[in-house]
Amino acid sequence: MIKKIYRGEPGGLVKVILPSGKSRPLRHVVLHSPTGFGWGYGGSGPADLALSILCDVLGERPSEKQVYHGRFKAYPHHQDFKREFVARWEYGSGFEIAPDTIAGWLRKRGVEVQP
């Protein structure tokens, strides 16, 4: 059995590969980029990807109002996550990252993450 994995494919599609082997699209938490995800640079698409991944790891589904006001757990960390991870993934290629890696990064920042 595989563990859950976040997988980005060339073209901007990001899937969550579940332990069953099935996948689902990563829910886009729209804050910076209404047109979708990106990685490999420091722009709006990577910022939304970082925010969306953190929300998924933390089990958050912020409302439009919460997103607008930045009142949810993932919000204060998404720009740093973008800089430290998302912007470094090779532009035009795919990526994979495990939730355990992200949870460890969040814990080092003092964020409580459920196992």
- Measured CA to CA in angstroms, residue 3 lies from 6, 20, 41, 55, 74 at distances of 10, 8, 27, 18, 22
Tally of domains in the chain: 1
In a domain? residue 81 = yes
Range of the structural domain that residue 60 is part of: 5-108
pTM (2 d.p.): 0.94
- Report the DSSP beta bridge partners of residue 23: 17
Q: pLDDT digits over 45-99, tens only?
A: 999 999 999 999 999 999 999 999 999 999 999 999 999 999 999 988 999 999 9
In a domain? residue 65 = yes
Q: pLDDT digits over 20-46, tens only?
A: 999 999 999 999 998 899 999 999 999
In a domain? residue 25 = yes
In a domain? residue 115 = no
In a domain? residue 114 = no
In a domain? residue 113 = no
